[in-house]
Amino acid sequence: MRWIGAVVVFPILATVGVMLGAWWAPFPLGLAFGAVQPGARFAVPVGALIGSVGWSIPLSASESRFGLGPAAESLAAIMGFGHMAFVPVILTLLAGTLLGLLGAWLGCAGRTLVQPASSRTRASVSADGGTPSSR
C-alpha cells in the first residue's frame, strides 16, 4: 500500500512543482522514488509516470483554458514540422516523461551500488510485507 500511495503522491508533487515553474521537478522526484523503491522494473515506469503526469496536467490545464491548437501548430512550424501540431505535444510530454524516468533510473542505479540486491530484497520484504520488487 505504501508504494501505491507513493505512485499517487509523487506525480501530484511533480505536478505542483511544474505548476510553480519548477519544470525539472519530475527528475528529483523520480530520483527519490528510485532510490527508496527497490526494483528498477517497478521504479522506472513509475518514474516515467511521475514525469508524464507532472507535465501533462499543466499542459491539459492550458488546453482547457486557452486551447493549445494554434500554439501547437506554431511550435510545429517553428521546429520545422510543418502543420504536424501533434509533434510538439508529443515532444513536450516526452521531455517530462524522460525527466521522471531518468531520475528513477538514476535513483535505482545508485541504490544498487550502495546496497547489494540480496539486502535490498530483505529490506524490502521486512518493510513492505513481501512486495516482489527483486527477483
Partner 1 sequence: MKGGLRAVNAAAAVIVSAAVLYAAFFGAGPLPALGPAFNPVTGAWTMANDAAIGSETLHLFGLNQAVKVSLERDGTAHVVAQTDHDLFLAVGYMHARFRLFQMDLLRRQGEGRLSEVVGKAALDIDRFELQLGLLRTAQQEWNALAPDDVARQALLAYAQGVNDRIAHAEADHQLPVMFTLLGYQPKAWTPIDSLIVKGDMTQTLNFTDTPLVMALLEKSLGADLVSKWFPVLPPNPQSPYDPGPYPGQATVTPIGPVAQVTDAEAVAAGDAYQRLVSLPPGLLATGGNSNNWAVAGARSASGGALMAGDPHLHLTLPAIWFQLSMDSPAYQVSGVSIPGTPVVLIGHNRHISWSLTDAQNQQTFFYLEQEDSAHPGQYFWRGAWQRYQTVGYDIPVLGGATQHLTLKLSVHGPVITERGQTTTVWWAGNIPSQDLGVLLGIDRASSYQEFRDALRGWYSPTHNFVYADDRGDIGLISAGYYPQVAAARPWLPMPGTGEDDVTGTIPYDDIPQVYNPPEGIIWSANQRQVTDDYPWYIGTSSFFNPGYRANEIHRVLSQGGKLSAADMMALQTDTRDFLASEMVPILLAALPSSPARDLLASWDYRMDTNSAAATIWWAFWQAYLDETFGPDWKSHHVTLDRSEVSNALGQDLETWTLHDQHNPALQIAFKTTVTNLSKQLGPDPNTWTWGRVHTRVLENLAQISGLDYGPRADRGDANTPLAAPDFPSSHGPSWRMVVDWGSGTFSGIYPGGQSENPASHWYENRVDAWWDGRYAPMLSAEQAASAPGTVTWSLDP
Which residue in the set 7, 12, 95, 123 belongs to the binding site for partner 1 (CB under 8 A)?
95
7 or 109, CB closer to partner 1? 109
Instruction: Please check whether residue 108 is in contact with residue 58, taking contact to mean a CB–CB distance below 8 angstroms.
Output: no
Q: What is the spatial distance between Cα 19 and Cα 12, in angstroms, rounded to a whole number?
A: 10
2 or 69, CB closer to partner 1? 69
Determine, following the binding rule CB under 8 A, whether residue 3 of this chain makes contact with partner 1. no
What mask of x and - would describe binding to partner 1 in positions 5 to 34, judged by CB under 8 A?
-------------xxxx-xx--x-------
Which residue in the set 8, 41, 70, 127 belongs to the binding site for partner 1 (CB under 8 A)?
70
DSSP string, 1-63: -HHHHHHHHHHHHHHHHHHTT-TTTHHHHHHHHHHHS--HHHHHHHHHHHHHHHHHHHHHHHH
Determine, following the binding rule CB under 8 A, whether residue 118 of this chain makes contact with partner 1. no
Q: What is the spatial distance between Cα 71 and Cα 66, in angstroms, rounded to a whole number?
A: 10
| Main-chain dihedrals φ then ψ at residue 119, nearest 5 degrees | -70, -35
- The site for partner 1 (CB under 8 A) is made up of 18-21, 23-24, 27, 55-56, 58-59, 62-63, 65-68, 70-71, 73-78, 80-82, 88, 91-92, 95-96, 98-99, 102-103, 105-106, 108-110, 112-113, 117
